[in-house]
Amino acid sequence: MIKFKPYRIVVNGNDQDDVEYGRWKATGADPAKKPQNLDDKELKPNPFFSEQHALYETEVLRRLLKISKLRTGQLVLAASRQLASDLYIIPPGIRDTVISIESDSIRFQICPASTAHARPANPYLKNSRVVFSPFLTGSCPKDAPYADDSTLLHELVHGVRPSQFEKLKPESTNDQWTDLEEFFAVIVQDIYLSERGDKEVRGGHDAGASSLPATRVASYEFMENKTNYARVKAALKREKLAQQLALLEDIPFNPFAEFERAKHDLRSI
């Protein structure tokens, strides 16, 4: 287990909860014999050294260090300090396919890394969880972004904002962005990608969404869409993170900064 200081983030490669749950399912899933306190177990360190767990923690730490080198990433990581309890980054497992509405067993069997998701804290869950794998195992496409640091950052955006997640996740957008929470998380991820120097950013949350150029021109054109403009405006009003990101004016693709520029631009919509 690794504590990523100075943030409220812990990396835990122990998957004992999934091991016990999988064993129970494989032996008949008798309700009377169902293992108890699995939510607690997934946050506890392995009492014995495991090379597999250590490798997981090392690889996740490597991605966190990458995130911490960029200003966008630093702001997301810093938001974890406002959490009441530590956020845990844990590996995906068979139990996650049951307790998360964003995961499924078929996807997990084909490519475990494709089931990355966040379970933010709520009245019934003390600690936020980010389920993430840094390994493209199974039948994962070798060029898939599932194990990328930008994917981890995307899930951290959900995990460090549990109250906003709870409010925005049910707000469907009926388009390629899925819902207002995913719209916000993807925009933050896009700003990170643009700062990182990528040539393209995501043009939506759905798997089939087209990419956008990671340029200032594309950022301006994105904001010419009145729906995008309204969503960015609302995000800036409610989200401290959006307000902080708006100050990073030199990042080419940054709709939050674009909105602030538009207020002083005769071309603003």
Cα distances from 108 to residues 102, 112, 137, 138, 139, in angstroms, run: 11, 4, 10, 9, 10
Decide if pLDDT at 267 tops 60: no
Domain stops at, among 162, 181, 202? 162
Residues 27, 90: one domain? yes
Q: What is the pLDDT of residues 41-50, one digit of tens each?
A: 899 988 888 8
The percentage of residues in the chain with a pLDDT greater than 90, rounded to a whole number, is 77
Report the distance separating Cα 160 and Cα 170, nearest Å: 18
User: Looking at the 3D structure of the chain, how many domains does it have?
Assistant: 2
pLDDT (tens digit per residue) in 183-226: 999 999 999 999 999 999 999 999 889 999 999 999 999 999 99
**Per the omega criterion (within 30 degrees of 0), is the bond before 6 cis?**
yes
pLDDT at 261 over 90: no
- Global confidence as pTM: 0.93
Determine the pLDDT at residue 91. Answer: 95
Residues 22, 73 share a domain: yes
Q: Does residue 56 sit in the same domain as residue 175?
A: no
Q: Are residues 26 and 110 in the same domain?
A: yes
Q: Do 130 and 242 fall into the same domain?
A: no
- Same domain? For 204 and 138 the reply is no
pLDDT of residue 265: 66
- What is the arithmetic mean of pLDDT over 129-149? 93
Determine the average pLDDT of the residues in 29-48: 89
> Residue 219's domain spans which residues?
170-269
Please tell me whether residues 93 and 17 are part of one structural domain: yes
**In the predicted model, is pLDDT for residue 266 greater than 70?**
no
Q: What is the pLDDT of residues 69-109, one digit of tens each?
A: 999 999 999 999 999 999 999 999 888 877 776 657 788 88
Per-residue pLDDT tens over the stretch 163-174 = 999 999 999 999
Same domain (yes/no): 151, 199: no
pLDDT (0 to 100) of residue 103: 59
pLDDT value for 268: 47
214: its two tokens: 């990671």
Average pLDDT, the chain: 93
Asked whether residue 150 falls in the same domain as residue 22, the answer is yes
Evaluated on CA atoms 128, 134, 135, 136, the torsion sign reads positive
End residue of a domain, out of 141, 162, 183? 162
Instruction: Using the 3D structure, point to which of 162, 195, 216 is the last residue of a domain.
Output: 162
- 218 and 147 belong to one structural domain: no
Within this chain, do residues 21 and 143 fall inside the same structural domain, yes or no? yes
Burial of 131 (0-12, 13-18, 19+ CB in 10 A): buried
Residues 174 and 195 in one domain: yes
Query: How crowded is the C-beta side of 168, counted as CA atoms within 13 Å?
Result: 22
Please report the pLDDT score of residue 46 as a whole number: 85
Alpha helices in 197-225 (DSSP H): 216-224
DSSP bridge partners of 211: 202
**Torsional class of 83: left (φ above 0), alpha (ψ -120 to 50), beta (otherwise):** beta
